[in-house]
Amino acid sequence: AFTPRVFSGIKPSGGLTLGNYLGAIKRWVDMQSPDMDNIYCAVDLHAITVWQDPPALKAGTREIAAGLLASGIDPENSILFNQSQVPEHAQLAWIFNCVARVGWMNRMTQFKDKAGKNAEKASLGLYAYPSLMAADILMYHATHVPVGEDQKQHVELTRDIAAKFNSDFGVDFFPQTEAVIEGPGTRVMNLRDGTKKMSKSGDSDMERINMLDDADTIAKKFKKAKTDPDGLPETVEGLAGRPEAKNLVDIYASLSDMTPEAVIAQYPGASWGTFKPALADLAVTKLAPISDEMKRLMDDPAEIDRKLARGAQKAREIATPILEKTYDIVGL
């Protein structure tokens, strides 16, 4: 049996979005417990699978750290660090590259989405991304990984890698990690195209809410969000087949810790002209204190770097013996 341990990461490849907050960060904060290790990470090695401007990448890593701290990740009781500062991740990823099969990688839908039609021109790192993610998780023998729905397939692959490693070498060394994907915020959609997830990279700024957006910008973006001519339904069943409407109700529910049913019950049959400003007010109420604190923290990059360095040190205390044991099992 493996002791419960939580791990998760976010790529520093652009500003944090409401999708990152509701799908990941908010739940990481809630899962913090003094009774177990909570390990949270800015995954900069993942970010460079596509081109990153070097100074922007460094700033992005600090912004992630500031976002996590401002949202309530407590660096005294959780481990908060930057992936590249713990070289064991890359070392374990190489071993997993030799355990995972090419056919498994070929089935990863996120690679297909991100590489697009020109997969030949994608980096080898983008292709091997899930193997590095498995290393991030298994580096700590993490048992639970809170993520958004888009990461489900990668966590399943992590389980496959763990199982194959254990069976190849006749050991019970890596756990079967569970993805924790719960609540209405696990798939926040793009505000202008309800069929795409909201993302910090790729889409235009009007399509997403950034954690650093000011109140006016948030209000404007929700006002311009795509909706259908009908307003809110009388019951949640009325959201079926209406992705844009469902998205706005889900965002409201996730921000307020309510169920979508309770949100609908509060605004039965409301017009968008009523609901969108209420949603914008709610988002500002929740995000403004976080973005204010983020800005304050980002004014002192050296202090963020110190916190990340301390976190990396704590992470390595767990990672080093696990990597040593892995090498020994493999015969290295």
List residues with catalytic annotation: 114, 197, 200
Please check if 19 is assigned to a binding site: yes
Nearest distance from C-beta of residue 250 to ligand ADP, angstroms: 10
Residue 132 contacts residue 90 (beta carbons within 8 Å): yes
- Which of residues 17, 38, 85, 143 is near Na ion by CB under 5 A? 38
- 198 is an annotated ligand-binding site residue: yes
315 close to 159: Cβ distance less than 8 angstroms? no
Minimum CB distance to Na ion, residue 181 (Å):
20
* H helix runs in 36-122, sequence order: 44-47, 54-71, 88-99, 102-106, 109-115
Which residue lies nearer to ligand ADP by CB, 38 or 326? 38
CB atoms within 10 A of CB 299: 10
List the single partner that 20 binds among ligand ADP, Na ion, none, CB under 5 to 8 Å by kind.
Answer: ligand ADP
Half-sphere exposure (CA, 13 Å, Cβ side) for 31? Answer: 25
First to last CA, the chain: 26
Tell whether residue 38 is a contact of ligand ADP (CB under 6 A). Answer: no
Length reported for the chain: 332
- Residue 19 or 67: which CB sits closer to ligand ADP? 19
299 is in an annotated binding site: no
Q: Which lies closer to ligand ADP via its Cβ, residue 11 or residue 62?
A: 11
**Stretch 188-227: interaction string toward ligand ADP, x if CB under 6 A:** x--------xxxxx--------------------------
| Residue 201, marked binder | yes
d(CA 191, CA 47): 24
In what helix (H) or strand (E) does residue 323 lie, and over which residues does it extend?
Answer: helix 301-330
| C-alpha torsion angle, residues 144, 188, 211, 179 (rounded to 10) | 10
CB nearest ligand ADP: which residue? 23
Task: Pick one of Na ion, ligand ADP, none as the site partner of residue 38 (Cβ within 5 to 8 A by kind).
Answer: Na ion
40-76 b/e with 16+ CB inside 10 Å = b? bbbbbbbbbbbebeeeebbebbbbbbbbbbbbebebe
Concatenated DSSP letters of 129-181: HHHHHHHHHHTTT-SEEE--GGGHHHHHHHHHHHHHHHHHHT---S--PEEE-
Q: Which is nearer to ligand ADP, 13 or 326 (CB)?
A: 13
| Per-residue CA distances from 272 to 109, 164, 220 (Å) | 34, 51, 13
Asked if residue 23 binds ligand ADP (CB under 6 A), the reply is yes
- Interaction between residue 130 and ligand ADP (CB under 6 A): no
Name the phi and psi angles at 146, rounded to 5. Answer: -75, 120
Q: Are 190 and 208 in contact (CB under 8 A)?
A: yes
Q: Which of 5, 6, 7, 10 binds ligand ADP (CB under 6 A)?
A: 10
84 marked among binding-site residues:
no
Query: Given CA atoms 139, 38, 29, 312 in this order, what sign does their dihedral have?
Result: negative
* Region from 32-40, 172-180, 201-209, 219-227 binding Na ion, contact rule CB under 5 A: 32-40
CB of 36 to Na ion, least distance (A): 5
User: What is the per-residue binding string for Na ion in 209-238, x denoting contact by CB under 5 A?
Assistant: ------------------------------
Q: Residues annotated in the binding site for ATP, as ranges?
A: 11-13, 19-20, 148-150, 188, 197-201
Q: Residues annotated in the binding site, as ranges?
A: 11-13, 19-20, 136, 148-150, 188, 197-201
Q: Residues annotated in the binding site for L-tryptophan, as ranges?
A: 136
Residues that bind Na ion (CB under 5 A): 38, 77
Residues that bind ligand ADP (CB under 6 A): 10-11, 13, 17, 19-20, 22-24, 147-148, 150-151, 186-188, 197-201
